[in-house]
Amino acid sequence: MTTLLEDIAHYFADHLRRFGTTPAGVGWNADAQRIRFEQVCKVIADPAGSVLDFGCGYAAMLDFLRGQRFTGAYRGLDISPEMIEAAAARHAGDALASFELGSTSSIAADYVIASGIFNVRYQRDDSEWRAFIDATLAEINRVAYKGFAFNCLTSYSDSQRMREDLFYGDPCYYFDLCKRLYSRQVALLHDYGLYDFTIIVRKQ
């Protein structure tokens, strides 16, 4: 039986093989990807700070950040060797970009961003997937100096559009979790036209 992380790595490696380094290669469409990047990047208060992209895929986030005049160091972390290889190849000319294979980071950063990593749960039940999210958020908090942001599909989605292989989180639960465990400064964004929400946690 495969582990949860093996399932995730296989899913994204398969999408990369099928669709290449495009939004579809990480399960997005271009417009939705851009909108979600805009939301999670609101945590970045210093454009010269450092960013850790937690579950970076082929590092489309770095393209977005550089387009927004972000000049700081970027580190991409992913559990898929294929994704890390593709990301490093795409950004070989960026001297401030580095990449790491794994589910935990060997370094910390000013801001940690996780976009889209909590959505596809495969055949895992809600309790296992929630435990995975909670553990991942604890790790993200550990390596974030100034703040972090993440998104998740929302439990307020239209029932007829919801899929069995996707996880729909309760935004109130994650807002409360972050307020209780990580910071007094927490924002919940649920007003940008997609069936998900973004949590922003500021630690400084």
Check residue 43 and give its pLDDT: 98
pLDDT grade, residue 14 (50/70/90)? low
Q: What is the DSSP string of 61-108?
A: HHHHHHHTT--S-EEEEES-HHHHHHHHHHTTT-TTEEEEESSS-SS-
Name the more confident of 19 and 57.
Answer: 57
Q: What is the mean pLDDT of residues 29-50?
A: 93
Which of 56-60, 105-109, 136-140 shows the lowest per-residue confidence on average (mean pLDDT)? Answer: 56-60
Instruction: Report d(CA 77, CA 88) in Å as an integer.
Output: 11
Domains and CATH numbers, the chain: 4-202 (3.40.50.150)
Flag whether pLDDT at 13 surpasses 70.
no
Q: SS in 3 state form for 116-160?
A: CCCCECCCCCHHHHHHHHHHHHHHHHHCEEEEEEEEEEECCCCHH
Check residue 194 and give its pLDDT: 93
pTM over 0.75: yes
169-181 tens-digit pLDDT: 999 999 999 999 9
